[in-house]
């Protein structure tokens, strides 16, 4: 897993969610230029995307990755 991980220094400031941890996840995704966020968090899943970052459940990600 360490070989796939990247430490991201965030510059963005997101306030889209009531949960500050969710905002930090989105900030990392934006500043790390992630294609998607894979989470089980119902609030985040309800957003479906934020800016150009898709937000999806594990099952959706597995279907998505099979097409890529």
Mean pLDDT of 6-11: 91
d(C-alpha 15, C-alpha 3), whole Å:
31
Percent of the chain residues topping a pLDDT of 70: 97
Q: Which pLDDT does position 68 carry in this prediction? A: 67
Segment (H or E) for 56: strand 53-56
Q: Using the predicted structure, report yes or no on whether residue 1 has a pLDDT greater than 80.
A: no
Per domain, the residue ranges of the chain are 20-67
pLDDT tens track for 15-43: 999 999 999 999 999 999 999 999 999 99
pLDDT at 58: 95
Nearest Cα neighbor of 24 from 44, 38, 42, 10 is 10
d(CA 27, CA 31): 6
């Amino acid at each position: 897993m360490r070989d796939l991980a990247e430490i991201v220094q965030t510059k963005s400031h997101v306030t889209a969610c009531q949960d500050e941890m969710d905002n930090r996840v989105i900030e990392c995704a934006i500043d790390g230029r992630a294609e998607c966020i894979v989470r089980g968090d119902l609030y985040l899943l309800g957003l479906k995307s934020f800016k150009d970052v898709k937000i999806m459940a594990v099952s959706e990600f597995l279907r998505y990755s099979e097409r890529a």
